[in-house]
Chains A and B, each alone.
Chain A
């Protein structure tokens, strides 16, 4: 009898833990979606709507697409975004990367830019990732003030090299992707 009781208790505890974890996970996910994802979707939809209806899309297709539809163009784009003075300004909230990504997305959708440039484009719009957040990120890692002093310029300079490099790498990694 005692054994059975113990077993039942253990099962009860186990189930309670799993159900509790899942319920909390559901709550966290819904919170995240309502607080962070939906507002951004509204904002992105507004931009897409305006682009589609005003003819800005055609203008983008003529000016931006040739740039984004070639390896050289994407490398140039990534170099501009990775300039050490610009990159911390372009970083916050990944808003700029999302907007450029969405603009390019509308061009991928109409096939104005061939789909095999999607992978290098993902890296070309994002060499500034986290450049606005370096001191905070290092502080989260419990770094000394001296480390932060050196770390900020070190990361910014590194991006100037690795940003374009990532685009080239992604270009060669997308061989065989969406060729048909």
Chain B
């Protein structure tokens, strides 16, 4: 009987610990999340997300200086204003050869801003939140990490865009060549 009671206590203890964690998360994260999201969502509605269409049109041009526009500024604006998953619709302004690279770049930026702009992807908050909560519990200031995540994210998506654009170009050349070989 005694053993059974101990076992039951241990079993309930599992969920008690989970419940305490849950309360911590709800009181620690949710209030800020709701208010911040309300502010940014209202701001986006008042500014009008269609304003970034012009950037999309400019980003498709050839030339070295358009790389940062296409794979840094456009993904950032798309993710900020349209959020996940509507951000990827901005690819429609780009030529076909840039679309995979733009998608790669934009989708890689739906997590780095989460520490400061959680409205971009609140459903996947814990990609950032898991590690951030741990760092906070260890007694460090999380905003240092949030800012670096946001900034390094921009560098990473630029690299990703360029690499994917190159790979896309190589692969489409190859598939065109094999199609020609099959035709002749």
Contact = CB atoms under 8 A, between A and B. Distances in A.
Size band of the interface chain A makes with B? 35 or more
A24 B45 CA distance: 9
B167 A109 contact: no
Interface residues of B, number: 83
Contact of B135 (A17, A115, A150, A157): A115
> Secondary structure at chain A's binding surface: helix, strand, loop or mixed?
helix
A151 B107 contact: no
Interface string B109-120: 011100000010
Interface string A84-122: 000000000110011111111111111100010011011
- Residue from the set B35, B89, B133 with the largest chain A CB neighbour count within 10 Å: B133
A5 to B, nearest CB: 25
A119 B103 contact: no
Contacts of B125: 37, 40
A30 B133 CA distance: 22
A21 interface: yes
A120 to B, nearest CB: 9
Contacts of A28: 37-38, 41
A127 to B, nearest CB: 9
A4 interface: no
6 A-B pairs with least C-beta separation: A141-B91, A49-B18, A105-B134, A101-B130, A130-B107, A151-B100
